[in-house]
């Protein structure tokens, strides 16, 4: 990719930042790793000896002591696991990283079995006594953590079974997920006389040249087709593994366990899904009709879905450009968020370089409160990359602010986990829009934002529908590749509408989506976050006074309070269709603007 000469030097991909993981350990041979593992082992054994079989007899004061001890043990385990995973993500093809991650996962899983009894016994405390604990001032800090533990009571198994399941993960779900990651990382795509990784060829899906987009899409489809049997096997095995687990744990639906872990009611996600699907014609169908007209076509083909607009200006953003834009956007809203965002750049908490073997996509790893988050992105200089940087920084800021709650309370359920990230995208979009005087550039920014919102809301709910269909069918029998492909085409046709033509090779595109493998039903969190942020931003624009303080308090709360309590601050009720419609109307109004430009 060639950028303008004035930014060529600063946008050299080899000079993009690489994270520094030495806040964890020096390297994989650091003796402190082995000291930490031994410390975890000794403390876990002592904890087990002291508390197993005795949790129900503890006073509130002694229960607090036990929870604090357990939290320290779990945080140290998370430290080692975070380090191992970040090394692995930085270079999936490095055999030393693979072996190190597997070894650490096996050790930690074995150590987990020593203390698995605690939450099981906590959930068996008689209701009158547990209520006394919950009303005790001594345990106030961990009240929500205890409530979340209790919510699993009807789904937990006998202690030895839980230990067996915990230890078997290494050779079951963990291994299949690892196989998926390594298969994707090792895929090579022959394109224009080059051998490209998946991340490298993916950029051509948004190339301004129609022929390049088409050829890249066809090559991706062909390579996925050649490897489809392994992806079909992985998907079938993991879906059945989940089905078995759900049956033993008495979950009614495949999505129920995800909703429980997200601390959200089934009816809330039903309301979200119903609302988004109802808005398909108003949003995605209408926008793609508009895009087809811009291309002077009756329909666009699937490889044109994310194509640059015919009037798109081929603007590239150097890393320094992106950094400046995002930091200014955050600063315009909150000096506190701006100051935190700066730390990520100054202290090497970001890995933005594209290189062979690096995990594709982007994420912000919260790691542990006593260290800090790390961000991985694959920066290529597009407007979407600028938006991705803003998105992941939103996660990072949220994780940093929530870290002061401590390890157990810092973790935010997915219902709110995407709020700060999507809010960061909106801040950046509004900053760019408000500082753009050229009418055509404004149209481009608005259209690109709508496309991003469709990908965040409509596409993710379509993903969710695909997962629901696949997991429900897998309850009764294994699915063939053709059956899975048909499910994919059905949900994609519904969501994309009549103005996007889906051709044969697209039917294999389900196979590269990592969320289906690593975290089933995670995807609705993106739609949840986008619709919520649309509503939040509307509140902010109407009444900015005092909003920053309330918003930062929401982020700082982490997982210490129920999400419904936090949303009550803004008078939001996610069980109501109207709440979701308000968020979706923001997207629809953006499309109204585009139709009138």
pLDDT of 64: 97
Q: Tell me the CB-side half-sphere exposure of residue 49, using CA atoms within 13 A.
A: 6
E-state strands within 245-291 = none
Token pair for 552:
């930062």
pLDDT of 199: 85
pLDDT along the chain (597 residues), means of 10: 37 77 96 97 97 96 98 98 97 93 93 94 95 96 95 92 86 90 93 91 91 96 97 97 96 95 92 97 97 95 93 88 97 97 97 91 95 96 93 97 96 84 94 91 93 95 98 97 97 97 93 95 92 91 91 94 89 92 94 90
DSSP annotation string for 447-500: HHHHHHHHHHTHHHHHHHHHHHHHHHHHTTSPPPHHHHHHHHHHHHHHHH-TTE
E-state strands within 166-245 = 189-191, 194-196
- What region, left, alpha or beta, does residue 265 occupy, with left being phi > 0 and alpha being psi -120 to 50 degrees? beta
- What region, left, alpha or beta, does residue 367 occupy, with left being phi > 0 and alpha being psi -120 to 50 degrees? left
E-state strands within 141-193 = 189-191
For residue 253, the 8-state DSSP code is S
φ, ψ of residue 300 to 5 degrees: the values are -100, 155
Q: How many CB atoms lie within 10 A of CB 142?
A: 22
Q: Rounded distance, CA 3 to CA 204, Å?
A: 16
pLDDT of 5: 37
0.75 surpassed by pTM = yes
Token pair for 192:
């224009």
pLDDT of 13: 52
Residue located via tokens 């068996």: 124
Crossing angle (nearest 10°) for helices 95-115 and 31-51: 20
Q: Which of 329, 368, 338, 334 is CA-nearest to residue 36? A: 368
Give CA 14 to chain center in angstroms: 26
Class of domain 31-171: mainly alpha
φ, ψ of residue 500 to 5 degrees: the values are -120, 120
pLDDT of 4: 37
Q: Rounded distance, CA 143 to CA 560, Å?
A: 8
pLDDT of 14: 56
pLDDT of 503: 86
166 close to 173: Cβ distance less than 8 angstroms? no
Token pair for 113:
């079995």
pLDDT of 38: 97
pLDDT of 167: 84
Q: Which of 518, 13, 594 is CA-nearest to residue 234? A: 518
Could you tell me which residues are beta bridge partners of residue 351? 376
CA dist 158 → 111, 225, 249 (Å): 18, 43, 11
Q: Rounded distance, CA 424 to CA 326, Å?
A: 8
330 close to 393: Cβ distance less than 8 angstroms? yes
φ, ψ of residue 511 to 5 degrees: the values are -75, -15
Element (H, E) at 280: none
Buried residues in 64-93 as b, exposed as e (16+ CB within 10 A): bebbebbbbbbbbbbbbbbbbbbbbbbbbe
Q: Rounded distance, CA 270 to CA 257, Å?
A: 14
Q: Tell me the CB-side half-sphere exposure of residue 19, using CA atoms within 13 A.
A: 27
52 close to 117: Cβ distance less than 8 angstroms? yes
pLDDT of 9: 38
CA dist 408 → 74, 112, 141, 154, 470 (Å): 9, 16, 10, 22, 33
pLDDT of 11: 43
């Amino acid at each position: 990719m060639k950028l303008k000469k004035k930014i060529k030097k600063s946008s050299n991909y080899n000079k993009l930042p690489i994270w520094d993981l030495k806040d964890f350990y020096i390297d994989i041979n650091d003796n402190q790793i082995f000291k930490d593992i031994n410390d975890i082992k000794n403390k876990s054994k002592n904890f087990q000896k002291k508390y197993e079989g005795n949790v129900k007899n503890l006073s509130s004061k002694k229960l607090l002591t036990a929870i604090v001890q357990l939290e320290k043990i779990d945080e140290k385990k998370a430290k080692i696991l975070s380090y191992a995973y970040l090394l692995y993500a930085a270079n999936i093809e490095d055999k030393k990283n693979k072996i190190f991650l597997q070894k650490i996962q096996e050790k930690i899983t074995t150590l987990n079995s020593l203390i698995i009894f605690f939450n099981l016994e906590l959930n068996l405390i008689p209701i009158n006594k547990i209520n006394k604990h919950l009303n005790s001032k001594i345990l106030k800090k961990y009240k929500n953590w205890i409530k979340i533990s209790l919510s699993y009571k009807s789904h937990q198994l006998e202690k030895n079974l839980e230990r067996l399941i915990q230890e078997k993960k290494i050779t079951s779900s963990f291994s299949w997920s690892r196989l998926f990651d390594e298969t994707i990382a090792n895929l090579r795509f022959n394109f224009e006389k080059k051998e490209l990784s998946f991340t490298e060829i993916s950029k051509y899906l948004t190339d301004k040249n129609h022929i390049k987009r088409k050829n890249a899409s066809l090559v991706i489809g062909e390579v996925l087709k050649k490897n489809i049997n392994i992806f079909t096997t992985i998907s079938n095995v993991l879906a059945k593994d989940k089905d078995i687990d759900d049956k033993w744990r008495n979950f009614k639906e495949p999505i129920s366990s995800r909703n429980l872990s997200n601390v959200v009611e089934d009816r809330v996600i039903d309301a979200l899904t119903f609302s988004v699907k109802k808005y398909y014609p108003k949003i995605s169908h209408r926008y793609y009709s508009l895009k087809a007209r811009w291309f002077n076509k009756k329909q666009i083909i699937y490889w044109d879905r994310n194509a640059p607009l015919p009037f798109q200006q081929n603007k590239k953003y150097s890393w320094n450009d992106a950094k400046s834009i995002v930091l200014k956007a955050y600063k315009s809203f909150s000096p506190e968020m701006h100051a935190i965002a700066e730390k990520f750049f100054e202290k090497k908490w970001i890995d933005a370089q594209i290189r062979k073997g690096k995990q594709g996509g982007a994420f912000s790893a919260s790691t542990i409160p006593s260290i800090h988050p790390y961000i991985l992105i694959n920066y290529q200089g597009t407007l979407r990359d600028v938006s991705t940087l803003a998105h992941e920084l939103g996660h990072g800021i949220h994780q940093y602010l929530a870290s002061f709650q401590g390890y157990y309370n810092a973790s935010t359920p997915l219902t709110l986990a995407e709020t700060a990230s999507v809010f960061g995208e909106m801040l950046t979009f509004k900053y760019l829009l408000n500082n753009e005087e050229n009418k055509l550039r404004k149209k481009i920014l608005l259209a690109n934002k709508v496309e991003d919102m469709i990908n965040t809301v409509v596409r993710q709910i379509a993903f969710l529908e695909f997962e629901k269909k696949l997991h429900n069918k897998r309850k009764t029998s294994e699915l063939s590749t053709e059956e899975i492909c048909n499910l994919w085409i059905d949900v994609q046709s519904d969501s994309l509408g009549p103005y996007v033509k889906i051709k044969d090779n697209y039917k294999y595109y389900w196979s590269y989506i990592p969320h289906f493998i690593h975290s089933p039903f995670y995807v609705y969190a993106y739609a949840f976050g986008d619709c919520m942020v649309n509503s939040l931003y509307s509140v902010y624009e109407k009444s900015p006074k005092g909003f920053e303080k309330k918003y930062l308090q929401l982020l700082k709360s982490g997982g210490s309070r129920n999400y419904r309590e936090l949303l009550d601050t803004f008078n939001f009720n996610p069980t109501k269709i109207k709440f979701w419609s308000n968020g979706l109307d923001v997207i629809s109004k953006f499309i109204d603007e585009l139709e009138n430009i």
